[in-house]
Amino acid sequence: MKIGFIGLGNMGAPMARNLAAAGHEVHGYDITGILVEGVTQAATVEAAVKDAPIIITMLPNGAILREVADQLLPHASKGACLIDCSTVDVDSARLVADLATKKGLLSVDAPVSGGIGGAEAGTLTFMCGGSKDAFAIAKPLFEIMGQKAVHCGEAGNGQAAKICNNMILGITMIGTCEAIALADKLGLDRQSLFDVVSTSSGYSWTMNAYCPAPGIGPKSPSDNGYKPGFAATLMLKDLLLAQQAAKGVDAATPLGTHAADLYQTFVTEDLDDLDFSAMLPYLAAKGHS
Ligand code: NAD
């Protein structure tokens, strides 16, 4: 099956490669002219999407998604399914879904979790919004690029699920780092804290599976000098999307707001593109205020 794939960056390139390796005829386009093994390089958006029953986008943000949608929709075949895997604001996802419907296309917003490692290994999780029919068409492709796809309801709900999940993740990471930094100053060693918390009511994915303290728990970016992993800049992006959405629907997210502020300061102060778990050395170096 011909698949038009737009956006061949850190995530898009391995996803397109996995689709090609599974036997699909993938035509990829990226403004920077990236070449991907097994993928036919298209010279334009039009060439990538022409006669393709499936079009996948993996782009940096909502503004670029809207721009690319304007470029591709006039050339897409009626009945084709547009699958956007980028993380974008809910409003852009719903706008692009509306435009696609008006052109006689099906669409799914399907942001992912699992990072670059998950994209390479084909183990991503897809959070999906769109009609049942669109999800059914996209599902076999999610099974190639990932290990789980959850249909969350109508257009935009995939993006809603993604920002809610990552708001919890950001808040929980900060809480985990605060507790470790406090334990340090109370003279409680990190391994003992981990042994207690990871089997008690304070347990979480950030403590148990992605511990921000080096040498504790399973291997994580903290064991690799906080090289991402999941970059703090991407966490900030998702927390700001959550704040934008919360404002739009008048939802109270006091800790989400605070987490966004903290990651904003972290990203501004730390010039290196560190993993989001580097919030631990950042907080450990500060005092109570
Ligand atoms: P990236 O910047 O590496 O890739 C984006 C690609 O889009 C780039 O290669 C860029 O050249 C291309 N692009 C930009 N404008 C374009 C245009 N007009 N036409 C065609 N191509 C264009 O980003 P990434 O890390 O691959 O992330 C992609 C999306 O996935 C983002 O929305 C990000 O938030 C989300 N995401 C990333 C991760 C991660 O760990 N990197 C994890 C989950 C979700």
pLDDT of residue 133: 98
pLDDT in tens, 180-239: 999 999 999 999 999 999 999 999 999 999 999 999 999 999 999 999 889 999 999 999
Q: Are 216 and 180 in contact (CB under 8 A)?
A: no
Cross-strand bridge partners of residue 192:
none
pLDDT in tens, 246-273: 999 999 999 999 999 999 999 999 766 8
Q: What pLDDT band is residue 48 in, cutting at 50, 70 and 90?
A: very high
pLDDT of residue 289: 77
Could you tell me the pTM of the whole model? 0.95
Determine which one of 103, 132, 148, 162 is catalytic.
Answer: 162
Closest CA to 262 of 228, 222, 289: 289
Residue 185 annotated to the active site: no
- Ligand 1 contacts CB of residue 15 (under 6 A): no
pLDDT in tens, 53-109: 999 999 999 999 999 999 999 999 999 999 999 999 999 999 999 999 999 999 999
Q: For the stretch 114-130, what's the b/e string if a residue is b when 16 or more beta carbons lie within 10 angstroms of its beta carbon?
A: bbbebbbebebbbbbbb
- Atom of ligand 1 lying closest to residue 116 CA: 40
- Atom of ligand 1 lying closest to residue 68 CA: 18
Instruction: For 90-149, give the DSSP string.
Output: HHHHHHHHHHHHHTT-EEEE--EESHHHHHHHT-EEEEEEE-HHHHHHHHHHHHHHEEEE
- Ligand 1 contacts CB of residue 116 (under 6 A): yes
* Distance of alpha carbon 69 from alpha carbon 15, whole angstroms: 20
* Distance of alpha carbon 141 from alpha carbon 216, whole angstroms: 36
In this structure, which residue's CA is closest to atom 20 in ligand 1?
A: 30
